[in-house]
Amino acid sequence: MRATPTPPPTPEPPLTARVFAQRVSSTPRGARLARHLALHRLDAWGIPYGSALSDKAALLVAELAANAVTHGLVPGRDIEVLLRLDAYTLRIDVSDCRGECRPTAPEQTPAVAESGRGLLLVEALADRWGVFDRVPVGKTVRAEVDLPTR
């Protein structure tokens, strides 16, 4: 009787996570810088500029940072951008120091409003998103994107 060879095991994705955090000024220039730094970091992590995931991350960081600058401004305080990449998910957190000003659900934005549709973009691009209290003060808006299975 002959033994059947067993196939080699399927490699498992690493269990480590890569994390990048950066504070930027709470200004339109700071929001642009946050987007550029995030894309540069993702490229260094193997997510090339111009890829679908890189473009999606660029839009999410830009919108969340612009919202933090516009609605979460506390003079003299920065915003913080945090990226976390593991084998399954890219998480984008943007934090500001203003906890009482919370984004509303996109469907609650009046159709005639001149602004307030940015979270529609976040909702369309992210697999999940939400708002969390930030310790000791402020809030964090998080968007998560599931990575394609390999």
- The CATH number of the domain holding residue 118 is 3.30.565.10
What tokens does 55 get? 């473009």
Q: Is residue 9 part of a domain?
A: no
Number of domains in the chain: 1
Q: Is residue 22 part of a domain?
A: yes
Q: Is residue 70 part of a domain?
A: yes
How far from chain centre, in Å, is Cα 47? Answer: 14
Q: Is residue 127 part of a domain?
A: yes
Entry pTM? 0.81
Q: What pLDDT shows up at residue 117?
A: 73
pLDDT digit string (tens) for the chain, length 150 residues: 566 666 666 666 556 889 999 999 999 999 999 999 999 999 999 999 999 999 999 999 999 999 998 877 676 688 999 999 999 999 999 998 876 665 655 555 555 555 567 888 999 999 999 999 888 888 999 999 999 875
- Region label for 54, one of left (φ > 0), alpha (ψ between -120 and 50) or beta (otherwise): alpha
Q: What pLDDT shows up at residue 136?
A: 82
Q: Is residue 11 part of a domain?
A: no
Q: Is residue 5 part of a domain?
A: no
Q: Is residue 83 part of a domain?
A: yes
Range of the domain at 24: 18-146
* Interatomic CA distance for residues 74 and 97, integer angstroms: 6
Q: Is residue 110 part of a domain?
A: yes
Which helix (H) or strand (E) is 40 found in, with range?
helix 28-44
